[in-house]
Every structure is written in C-alpha cells, then in structure tokens.
C-alpha cells in the first residue's frame, strides 16, 4: 500500500513555537494549487499506478484554508493518477479558527473521512501564549461541527508542558478533550525548536521551559487519564479508541512507501525489504512553483536508506509504536542481531519498561517515557 501526503504551506498567522514550513502571504495560493496538480501528474506518471493508495493526508501549514473547489481539483488529479482504495483513510488537518459547519460539510463531500484539529489547549490564555488564532470555544464548536458534518473519525491535537502549566490545568485539558468524544487524541510536549520566536524568548529568559520532571509527570497524567477515558496508547504521543489508530501515521512507522507533495514534503520508497531512499522538496513556495512551471520535480535533496540505517529505524519506529518483531528482524538481518541483547531485554522486562509476546517486544506506558534511551541501548 502507498500513502500520499500533501503539504499546504499557508497559515493565517505563524505560531510562535512552530517550525513547520509555512508562510502568511497567501497571494500565490491559486498558482500553488495548480503546481500541486502538476506535481501529482508528474509523480503519478512515474509511479504508474503500480501500488494502491491506502491513506491520504493533507497537512501543513493549514490545509483548511483551501476551498472545496481546490480540493475537488486536487482529488480529481489524485484519482486520475493513482489507484485509491475504496476504504482509504483521507485526513484533513484543520485549524479550529478556520472552519465552520458549512466548510466541514463541504470537506466531507469532497472526499475527506477524517479531520484532525490543532486544538492545543482549552484555556484561552494558553492559546494566546501560543499565538494560536482560535479560542477554546471555537475548538469545541469545531469538533461538534465535524460530527454534524458526518465525520466519525476526529482527532484532537493537544500540547502539554507549556511554561507555567500546572498538572491540574493539563488534566482539565485532557478531560475536556475526552468529553468531546474524539476517536483519536494526539498529545505532544512543547518542544522549543531552534529559529522560532519561542526559542528567542527562552534565550532571553522571557519564558522558562517546564523542568523535565514536571514534563515527565504530565506525560504520565496523559497516559493514565486517556486510558481511563477509553483511549489505547499505540505510539508515544498517540491515543485512539479501538479501530481508530491513524493508518497514515502507522504507514510512516511501519516503513511503508509514501509520496509527499508540496514544499518541504519528504517522501520514502523501499528498494528492497531492508533498503530504501528518501527525498525532500524545496522549502520555498516560489521555488516549488518555479520548478513545476519548468516541469521539473521540486526536489532539493535526498539520501539512501542503507541496510544499517533501515535497521536502526525499524527498531526505533517499532519501539515508538506497536512493537518490534525480533523474529522478523532476525530473518532479515541475521541471527542474534537483537536477541543477542537477551540480558538487556530481560532487564527492561523486569523493570516494567518492556513486554514480550512471542517474538514481539513492545514498550509499556512506562517504557514509552524513555523510548529514545531504550532504542539507543538496543541499537548500540
Ligand atoms: S497553524 Fe499549525 S502549521 Fe501554522 S504556524 Fe501554527 S502550528 Fe504551525
């Protein structure tokens, strides 16, 4: 199965913590959509309809700034050039400040069956701090409107470990998210990314990041509260009601092939079961438009995913999500490659960080909190 990702690089306002590629100037939106159509045609011809498409994801940026007419054009191109499975998961990321019932109804009619809202917090002062354009009330209304528009599969994104955030306020955020009955909740710790206004504020000591212990305590609260509300954790930051795990994200974590479109988008193709290649597009709307006007792929770089790198990624991505099948790895990479670490595996099991079911190892809730460290020890 193939997955398709579309990066829509426009935002009404750049949030202070965000390092995704997006611009506030939307004057090139029409030309951009035409370029995106062209990129779909070029990649579609190259792919030759060999693989069926199982998931489609519009992310950004703010895809919900596009109109029904834009999506109709894009879906027409997608269906002309790719074989999309009848039950494909088709997601649109949406900013709660840019959608209302009529727009969500149009998105549903255009072909989306999943909507993901960047809610981040149900406290207006948090949202103001994050420089989000929406309010808590708009976020709640957006989720309710999505149900009324016919979306059964709704995700809410939340951010914890905000400067000065208390455990009680974070619990209240989780409670209000669960009360909206979404099928899926993603909860990420706030990361201070380089070259963002937030990084400058931290450097100038205008805000202090939450200490690591408080961040870790909030992560534990997340896992406990969402488990109590009926959400199963299936990745470090992702929680779903049974059957609503995000298939698009699972494709990334399972090393499935994905083609990505739009500026800054990354693609991946396997060459064999244990090697592949990754490439990425230019990080500029204008360069993207210019390349496609010349009928060239707007690619700015790439890398081989060697057997060694592929192995490291398999372990890392598997541990972050639903587990690693050691039997399969040994068949692909040779006996002893991970089971040679039997002592370490037993120690992690005894500490309650890891569990085993036949040949599959998976992290426990406690293990997810130290996932990177465990992966390093298993790979190293
Ligand atoms: S709306 Fe999303 S993509 Fe746009 S700046 Fe804010 S966080 Fe980044």
Within this chain, do residues 129 and 21 fall inside the same structural domain, yes or no?
A: yes
- Smallest CA-to-CA distance from 282 within 302, 258, 263 is with 263
Do residues 261 and 282 lie in contact, with contact meaning Cβ atoms separated by under 8 Å? no
Q: Name the least confident of 40-49, 141-150, 332-341.
A: 332-341
**Token pair in block for residue 92:** 């649109």
Domain edge (last residue) among 208, 233, 251: 251
List of residues 6+ apart from 285 with CB closer than 8 A: 9, 23, 28, 32, 263
**What is the mean pLDDT of the segment spanning 51-75?**
97
Domain edge (last residue) among 236, 251, 266: 251
Within this chain, do residues 20 and 168 fall inside the same structural domain, yes or no?
A: yes
- Say if 295 falls within a structural domain: no
Q: Would the pLDDT of 289 be above 80?
A: yes
Q: What is the pLDDT of residue 211?
A: 94
Give the chain's mean pLDDT.
Answer: 96
Domain edge (last residue) among 192, 224, 251: 251
3-class secondary structure, 91: strand
Distance in Å, CA 278 to ligand 1 centroid = 25
Q: What is the pLDDT of residue 340?
A: 77
**What is the mean pLDDT of the segment spanning 163-178?**
97
Q: What is the pLDDT of residue 49?
A: 79
Q: Which residues line ligand 1 (CB under 6 A)?
A: 11, 14-15, 18, 20, 22, 60-62, 95, 118
Cα distance between residue 261 and residue 60, in whole Å: 11
Total tally of structural domains belonging to the chain: 2
- pLDDT tens for 2-27 read 999 999 999 999 999 999 999 999 99
Distance in Å, CA 46 to ligand 1 centroid = 32
- Say if 289 falls within a structural domain: no
Distance in Å, CA 198 to ligand 1 centroid = 13
Which ligand 1 atom sits nearest the alpha carbon of residue 14?
A: 5
- Say if 269 falls within a structural domain: no
Crossing angle between the packed helical segments 371-379 and 342-350, to the nearest 10 degrees: 160
Q: Which domain holds residue 358?
A: 323-379
Do residues 161 and 190 lie in contact, with contact meaning Cβ atoms separated by under 8 Å? yes
Which ligand 1 atom sits nearest the alpha carbon of residue 131?
A: 6
Which ligand 1 atom sits nearest the alpha carbon of residue 18?
A: 8
Q: What is the pLDDT of residue 334?
A: 86
Q: Name the least confident of 17-26, 163-172, 335-344.
A: 335-344
Residue nearest atom 6 of ligand 1, based on CA coordinates: 15
Q: What is the CATH number of the domain that holds 25?
A: 3.20.20.70
Cα distance between residue 193 and residue 215, in whole Å: 16
Q: Would the pLDDT of 380 be above 80?
A: no
Which ligand 1 atom sits nearest the alpha carbon of residue 93?
A: 2
Cα distance between residue 152 and residue 306, in whole Å: 40
Best-predicted range by mean pLDDT (55-59, 95-99, 312-316): 55-59
- pLDDT tens for 75-117 read 999 999 999 999 999 999 999 999 999 999 999 999 999 999 9
């Amino acid at each position: 199965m193939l997955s398709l990702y579309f990066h829509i690089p426009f935002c009404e306002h750049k949030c202070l913590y965000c390092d995704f590629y997006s611009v506030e100037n939307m004057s090139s939106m029409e030309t951009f959509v035409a370029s995106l159509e062209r990129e779909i045609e070029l990649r579609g011809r190259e792919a030759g309809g060999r693989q069926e498409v199982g998931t489609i994801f519009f992310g950004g940026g703010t895809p919900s700034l596009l109109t029904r007419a834009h999506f109709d054009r894009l879906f027409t191109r997608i269906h002309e050039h790719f074989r999309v499975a009848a039950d494909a998961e088709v997601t649109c990321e949406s900013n709660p400040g840019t959608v209302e019932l009529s727009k969500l109804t149009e998105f549903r009619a255009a072909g989306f069956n999943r909507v993901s809202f960047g809610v981040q917090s149900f406290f207006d002062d948090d949202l103001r701090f994050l420089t989000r354009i929406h309010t808590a009330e708009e976020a709640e209304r957006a989720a309710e409107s999505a149900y009324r528009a016919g979306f059964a599969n709704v995700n809410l994104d939340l951010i914890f470990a905000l400067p000065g955030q208390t455990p009680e306020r974070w619990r209240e955020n989780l409670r209000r998210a669960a009360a909206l009955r979404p099928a899926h909740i993603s909860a990420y710790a706030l990361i201070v990314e380089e070259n963002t206004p937030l990084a400058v504020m931290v450097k100038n000591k205008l805000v202090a990041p939450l200490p690591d212990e408080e961040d870790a305590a909030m992560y534990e609260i997340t896992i406990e509260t969402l488990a109590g509300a009926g959400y199963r954790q299936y990745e470090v930051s992702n929680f779903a009601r049974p059957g609503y795990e995000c298939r698009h994200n699972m494709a990334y974590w399972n090393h499935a092939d994905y083609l990505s479109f739009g500026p800054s988008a990354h693609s991946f193709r396997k060459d064999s079961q244990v090697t592949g290649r990754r490439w990425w597009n230019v990080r500029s709307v204008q360069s993207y438009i210019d390349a496609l006007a010349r009928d060239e792929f707007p690619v700015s770089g790439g890398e081989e995913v060697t057997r060694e790198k592929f192995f490291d990624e398999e372990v890392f991505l598997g541990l972050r999500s639903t587990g690693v099948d050691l039997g399969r790895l040994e068949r692909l990479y040779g006996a002893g490659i991970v089971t040679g670490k039997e002592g370490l595996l037993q120690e992690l099991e005894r500490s309650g960080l890891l569990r085993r079911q036949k040949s599959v190892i998976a992290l426990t809730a406690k293990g997810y909190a130290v996932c990177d460290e465990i992966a390093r020890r298993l790979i190293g």
